[in-house]
Structure 1
Amino acid sequence: MCGRTVTVPGELDALDGTALLSWGRATLAALEHHRDEINALNVFPVPDSDTGTNLLATMRAAVHGAEDATGPRSGSEDSQRPDVSQVTPVRGPGGVMSAREIAAAMARAATVGARGNSGIILSQVLRGISDAVADGPLTERSLRVALRQAARLVREALSSPVEGTMLTVLDRAAERAADCAEEDLAAVASAAADGAAKALGETPTQLGVLREAGVVDAGARGLLVLLDELVAIAGGSAPTRPVYRRDAPMRPRTSPGGSIIPAPGGDLGAAVSEAAAAVLDSVAVGISGGGVPHYEVMFLVRGTDEPRIDKLRDRLAALGDSVVVVGDGSQTWSAHVHCADAGAAVEAGLAAGTLSGIRIETLTRSGHAIEGAADRAILAVASGAGAVRLFEDAGATVLEGDVTSELLLEAIRGVARREVLVLPNGALPAHELVAVSVAARDGQREVLMLPCGSMVQGLAALSMHDAGRAAADDAFAMSEAAAGTRWGALRVAPERALTMVGMCEAGDGLGLVGHDVVVIDSDVAAAGRTLLDRMLGLGGELVTMLVGCAAPEGLSVELAGHVAAGFPGVEVVVYPGGQVGDVVQIGVE
């Protein structure tokens, strides 16, 4: 059981909303624990070593969605949290959240926040649970229903199901749960988890690319983590699993504290074998007119119906592979495809309904750039644990904290790539950045300093990064995205001072556009609302908020609600940045 010691209060006949939320939190912690292990197993459908990261990000969205449904939370946490304000709970007697409400919130938030193919499939497992607990808590009977429903949803969502993957293991878990003769929750959960573990071990015999690489399926390994945590929360014996590595699963050795000690000889970060890469190259030929799928495209679709979604699934299947289109049960669908023509995939989505949350990322092999991709790295300066995670999850190397010219120069020289694109994010004045850029260039390295004055501009720039372009073209596209993002900040005045709009007192809320104070208000939240009005008065389709570590509880919810009420159609995304200084950093695109 994740190599950790788990204390349970005894077997439970059913899981209510509180217990389901506890299970979600325990699963989130377990996926964090196993992230590197799962990433290292990732060779299918693309060996980009991000399955563990994607599962973790999706489960984080689900847990935060459930926590938001139980009431306002502080925005200062150090993990990313997309805005899921569409989830509106109706509490039961005494304000207690039912299993139905918690499960529905988790399923919806997971669909909205899903990352990657595996994340979308995970969202359907949560939707299966949500459907099964519509009339009561999660019992042994409804667990059987949940797993069967999840397996059906996943099969229906995939354009070309491939055996030896997450869906095969989910099928086996559902079958074992259905066949379990015992009638208590822990026993049924244990049967499902053990069935999944057995099926996981068999995945290399079903899928050649896994067999060539000597690994089990990464997504299925993540599903096993989910089921093992369910066994533990139901009060069963916490399962102990092998540490799954390249070549063969290894027998675990457990430390006195309960954590797994890796056996010698295995490298969780080992690159994919050349044989596996060759198999993937042969599989990729013929996709989208013979082109190798360079992009992972994801987006949310609303304002549509099942027939149009079916057409979207077929169109995406014609453009590429790894197609998954799933719903949250409340008229929102999440779509995913690997393809060579990202623009065509987005156009297919536009034909199906109203799009939001569009993500386009370049696919890379673990340790190797894909054909056409450059020997290039992104170095970003960031402050705050949540903001650092955002940049890291997007593929950047991060220089954290208070940065000097010397530290930035040292960090650039430490990047082992020929081309380095730097996102300074306002850390240093322009003349110092020019000096660093000149000093960092040599015969071995080209350095391009991008004009990003804030972290929200840096995130906008990073969303346009494409390693398949020439460095100058990539830098231009990223710079254009940064320039197209108006940025501002909500701060608290540390002392009495004269600003360009008048005198402020210590404790006043200050609204800045760029580096200029444009709003002063004794109420910090009121200053934030006025600042948003000023920034959106010039137009905008997307507002991104990075919430600082000192933000008052509920502030981000209030500001997001203000945008929704005053600017219909504008999408709001809220992330806990954890930065010091800016109570909220705001970007408008």
Structure 2
Amino acid sequence: MDAINVFPVADGDTGTNLCLTFEAAVAALPANGAEPTAAEALRAMARAALLGARGNSGTILAEYLRGMAHGLADEVDEVDGADGADEGEHGDAAGGPSGALPRALRSGASAAYAAVAHPVEGTMLTVAAAAADAAEAGGDPAVAAYEALAATPGRLAALARAGVVDAGGLGLTALLTALWAALGERVPQEPPAGTAAGASPVPCPAPRPAGAVPPGHGSPQAPFHPEFEVMYLLETGDPKAVDALRDRLDPLGDSLVIGGGEGLWSVHVHVADAGAAVEAGLAAGHPYRIRITHLPSAQEGTESAAPCEAAEPVREPAAGGRAVVAVVPGEGLAALCRQAGAGVLPAAEAVQQDALLAAVRATGAAEVALLPNGTELHPVAARAAEAARAAGIRCAVIPTRAAVQGLAALAVHQPERRFDEDVVTMTSAAGATRYGEVTVAERQSWTTAGVCQAGDVLGLVEGDVALIGSETAQVATDVLGRMLAAGGELVTLVVGAEAPAGLAAALEQYVRTSHLAVDTVVYEGRQREAQLLIGVE
């Protein structure tokens, strides 16, 4: 399945993700000899699959199992209410094909379709629907799944170009075949091969202009480059918040799948801005188990390129090696980053794409990780990285939204790793770092915490004003307390040029006495824009 994985992204992990997700589901079954009913087993498996879902296919599979569990529970309730009058041909409505199975398969297929923001035919969704149709008609769902799988190249251009069936569909077909066999039914003996012979060819679509946005995703003016797969679990008791999250994530990227219920949801999306996807989750509830994975670009996934598309010209790479370029707001931070081996660019200069591109070129490296260290710099950093790639430099933007996130990313940078692995590790470290800031208001202004006056001390958490006060030490302590309320292992304090004397020592003492298991590191950043930068990992 990994070998034929070409849609939605040719990242070669569909089989692995399905296997790991289903293994998590199976691990939830009792191992002490207890025999749960079919409904109880499916409920336990569905919950565990939701918690352990991996990738796009795993998230869909988890929701498919959850739908099956609901369908089976509904069928059992109906049978109990009718005193067993609707028992299946095997004498057990909870297990017989003529009883619960059609209901469970239909409910599973419906749940999977509903979880995907933009369902695409020729995928595991199509296989799920075909199996449900066959079961409801009294036919063989396993055979129907195989037939639907063999036809997937005729329904999806990416599969036809690569000459393979859908990897997720193949996984679901294997699962349905096992289920059918477990019910004592005959299963197909010769599944279709990876290449579907006789599949109807699908004409290649007209080439999309460089940077164009797929239909229904993002604004027509903004280029769309899904660089990251973002997944997290979301706790929220408000279903409307989940609907709002879906609306917020949809224009940010593609492959959006949100499944779950009863207060817990699994979120999956491919985006260009991983930070924005996580921020959307924070607005909807409590996201945790956040996983950010770098996706292969078109240049990295040349093995899946369509034969009918013109190949990109091969460009000479840069001199060699790998480098990191960090945007920094102060000389102290610049010295710290240089000491760690990174090239630096002052924040005031980074607003110019040419300046960022020049800094990338100046490294002389063939591979460069770019740390913008500010949300407002992400668009210009993305354009600079695009220009660098056009010049033959492999460049990736780590979605750091603050300097402390850049420090966290730089701390785990290892040039001896594969570039993709290094980018993923740095991105994960940045995403696991909450950031705060203490600064002084320059003028009267409306904020999320109320109206501030010139000279007021402002405490910001994740970019939003959370506190307005008069003393830096008190505001800083309150901000740090709020940030540590969600837990943490390491506090990073970056002291600005205008910070009052003794501020860092007072905050270190606060952490030591109030949060015993948390370590603190202090850097002299000498930045003038903020008295203090705070990071909590």
TM-score with structure 1 length normalisation? 0.47
1:194 aligns with 2:138: no
Could you tell which deviates more after superposition, 225-234 or 303-312?
303-312
Q: For residues 139-288 of structure 1, what are the structure 2 equivalents within 5 Å? A: 139-140=96-97, 141-180=99-138, 191-242=140-191, 244-246=193-195, 248=197, 287-288=217-218
Shift of 1:96: 4.1
- Measure how far apart 1:201 and its partner are: 1.0
Partner of 2:224: 291
1:133 is aligned, of 44, 69, 72, to 72
Partner Cα distance (1:324, 1:474) in 2: 21
1:352 pairs with 2:311: no
Partner Cα separation in structure 1 for residue 111 and residue 488 of structure 2: 32
What CA distance in whole angstroms lies between the structure 2 residues aligned with 1:482 and 1:302? 17
Residue 52 (str. 1) matches residue 1 (str. 2): no
After TM superposition, give the deviation of residue 280 of structure 1 in Å. 12
CA distance in 1, matches of 2:46, 2:144: 24
Equivalent residues of 1:114, 1:120 under 8 A apart: yes
Cα 1:355–1:282 shift into 2, 3 Å? same
Matches within 5 A, 1:305-344: 305-327=238-260, 329-344=261-276
In structure 1, the residue matched to 2:346 is none
Match of residue 361 from structure 2: none
Equivalent residues of 1:41, 1:217 under 8 A apart: yes
Tell me the SS of whatever aligns to 1:193: helix
Query: Which digits, 9 at most, give the CA deviation of each residue in 1:44-66, with x for residues without a partner?
Result: 11111111011011011111122
Q: In structure 2, do the counterparts of structure 1 residues 474 and 123 end up closer, same or farther at CA, with 3 Å as the change threshold?
A: closer
CA distance in 2, matches of 1:538, 1:39: 41
Residue 512 of structure 1 corresponds to which residue in structure 2?
none
C-alpha RMSD over aligned residues: 4.6
Report if aligned partners of 1:325, 1:336 keep a CA contact under 8 Å in 2. Answer: yes
Query: Could you tell me how far 1:239 is from its partner in structure 2?
Result: 2.7
Cα gap change, 1:169 to 1:281, in 2 (>3 Å): farther
Residue by residue, what CA displacement relative to the aligned partner does 1:273-322 show, whole Å, maximum 9, x if unpaired? xx899789888657542221111111111123221111111211111111
Distance change (3 Å), C-alpha of 1:209 and 1:317: same
**Cα distance in structure 2, aligned partners of 1:478 and 1:311:** 25
Classify 1:208/1:477 alpha carbon distance in 2 versus 1 (closer, same or farther; 3 Å): closer
Q: Following TM superposition, where does structure 1 have runs of at least 4 consecutive aligned residues deviating by more than 3 angstroms?
A: 246-250, 275-288, 369-377, 417-421, 460-469, 473-484, 537-543
CA contact (8 A) 1:461 1:480 kept: no
Q: How does 1:343-422 map to 2 (within 5 A)?
A: 343-364=275-296, 368=300
Count of aligned pairs:
323
Q: Retained in 2: the 8 A contact 1:361–1:466?
A: no
SS in 2 for 1:235: coil
Query: Which amino acid is 1:209 matched to?
Result: A
Q: Which residue of structure 2 aligns with residue 429 of structure 1?
A: none
Q: Is residue 203–residue 216 contact of structure 1 (8 Å, CA) maintained in 2?
A: yes
Given that residues 294 and 339 in structure 1 are in contact (C-alpha distance below 8 angstroms), is that contact kept between their aligned partners in structure 2?
yes
Aligned to 1:139, the other structure's residue is in SS state: coil
1:415-454 aligned at under 5 Å gives the runs none
* TM-superposed deviation, 1:106: 0.5
**CA–CA distance in structure 2, aligned partners of residues 325 and 60 of structure 1:** 21
Q: Is the 8 A contact 1:41 1:246 kept in 2?
A: no
Q: How many angstroms apart in 2 are the aligned matches of 1:363 and 1:467? A: 12
| Gapped regions of structure 1 (runs ≥ 5) | 1-37, 72-93, 181-187, 251-274, 378-416, 422-456, 485-536, 544-566, 571-587
**Is residue 466–residue 474 contact of structure 1 (8 Å, CA) maintained in 2?**
no
Contact 1:127 1:150 survives alignment (8 Å): yes
Residues 295 and 330 from structure 1, CA distance in 2 versus in 1: closer, same or farther, beyond 3 angstroms? same
Determine the structure 2 residue equivalent to 1:269. Answer: none
SS at match of 2:107: helix
Instruction: Quote the Cα distance in structure 1 between the aligned partners of 2:207 and 2:419.
Output: 21
Q: How far apart are the structure 2 equivalents of 1:280 and 1:206? A: 24
Q: Deviations over 1:225-281 (max 9, x none)?
A: 00111122112234323363246499xxxxxxxxxxxxxxxxxxxxxxxx8997898
Q: Distance in 1 between matches of 2:197 and 2:297?
A: 21
1:225 maps to amino acid: A
Identical pairs, percent: 42
Cα distance change, pair 117–196 in 1 and its aligned pair in 2 (3 A): same
Shift of 1:368: 2.5
Aligned amino acid, residue 226 of structure 1: L
Distance 2:295 2:251 in 1: 19
Larger radius of gyration: 2
**Which of 58, 66, 71 is the aligned partner of 1:119?**
58
Match in the other structure for 1:42: 5
* Separation of aligned partners in 1, 2:209 and 2:129: 25
Change (3 A) 1:278 1:113: farther
Q: Distance in 1 between matches of 2:214 and 2:289?
A: 29
TM-superposed deviation, 1:213? 1.1
- Indicate how the Cα distance of structure 1 residues 101 and 212 shifts in structure 2: closer, same or farther if over 3 A, else same: same
TM-score (normalised: structure 2) = 0.51
Confirm or deny: 8 A CA contact 1:297 1:345 kept in the other structure: yes
Other-structure match for 2:49: 110
Which structure would you say has the larger RCO, counting Cα contacts within 8 Å and 6 or more residues apart? 1
